[in-house]
Amino acid sequence: MTAGRNSELQAALAGVLFRVGMIAFIAWDHAGSDTSGYWLLAKNLVEHGTLSTDLAEPFLPSLYRPPVLPAFLALHQALFGENFVIPQLTLAVIATLRALLLARVAEALSPGLGAPVRWALVLSPFDAVFDVALLTESLCTTSLVAAFAAPLLLGRLGWSRWLLAGACFGLAALTRDVYLALPVGVALAVALFWREAWPRRLGAGVALLTGLVLVIAPWAARNHAHTGRWVPVTEGLLGRALWAGSWATGPVIMNDLSRYQFADDEEERAIRAALTAGDAKATDVTFRRAAIARYQRAPLSTLGRWLWRARLMWFGSRFDIFQFRPSFLAPRAPAWYLLKAGLYALNAALLAFAAIGVALALKQRAALAWLVLPVAYTWAIFLPLNGWEQRYAQPALPFATALAVFGAGSVWGTIRARARRQESAA
């Protein structure tokens, strides 16, 4: 067994054990979180053959949530019944394999980077904790890593690697619909900048988008069959998120109408009427028009709110939605403050070194700029939305971690080189 393979096996074992430990360490409220909604969708899929949020007949098909996580949970329900731990253990294994895959990508892009990235990822508490929650982040992250890995690690497959990458992007979008536009940007970047002759670059971009369409099309066809409208993934969510994002400077509970900040009486009447009517599509259109009207009235102040709010999604302990099982880590206990401060500091250091890594990769036009794409997209796509929870940035975090390792290594190399020069001068 080679040293590299042995190191991968050691990291795999450490990653699985670390995530199993996290499952035991975190008390996640499955019933009082978004997990309950996904669990209901999965239950209806198993028992009634449709993704529905209904609690009784007629179990009408829902377009509110993407299908991948409910399908994942439905498979586990069909095999193991009402058991939350087994899908958590499955995600622990999947996430560990994802870490090893991204480490191989880092090694392919920057030789020597793979090993430190591997250990940084398998032992990342920010990565591990989301395997407890049974939310969309873990599966979405896995699909994105696979999408960015396929073109680099499967070169012998030719055009098929780009089809596979597009299919993985499709799975990411069917897990979190906000990533539906990412493969379009990636295809454009590949067509313009990939290190091959331009006809092959163009063909690669077309193949990537073809793979995306092949995965999205069956779900879009399902939505069309039930609604008569072509809905690629979901509907009813974007308008409200854009509208709240136009005025919110911090956390907003979207189902609490008393916290809405209406621009004027006319806007309030229109929104309240739409909510009362109960038509999800019409309500989404109303919110979207209200958002556009705000953009037109005050574009600069709206942009300022976007930029100011963006920090909430990135800076913090990244454990903001989690409770700890040990009694000495009860909220507001001294040990709780200490742990939270440590996590905050660790995340701040990660982001600082990631920023350095991004800057160096772009300045040097290094191949690692490939990993900047999902990070930049995630930052940009959530700017106009009311997203503020740190979990929304989670799918980009492993890529940021790899860039942080690169940035930290570059800083350390600079410090050592300066020390050697000083020694030589002395």
Domain ranges of the chain: 148-175+181-231, 233-297
pLDDT at 88: 94
pLDDT at 149: 97
pLDDT at 237: 73
pLDDT at 1: 54
Which tens digits make up the pLDDT trace of 91-150? 999 999 999 999 999 999 999 999 999 999 999 999 999 877 899 999 999 999 999 999
Query: What does residue 26 show for φ and ψ, rounded to 5 degrees?
Result: -105, 135
pLDDT at 2: 67
Q: How far apart are CA 179 and CA 142, in angstroms?
A: 13
Q: Please name which of 195, 95, 72, 84 lies closest in space to residue 145, comparing C-alpha atoms.
A: 95
Q: Is the pTM of this model over 0.85?
A: yes
Q: Which residues of the chain have pLDDT under 70?
A: 1-4, 236, 251-257, 426
pLDDT at 253: 64
pLDDT at 252: 66
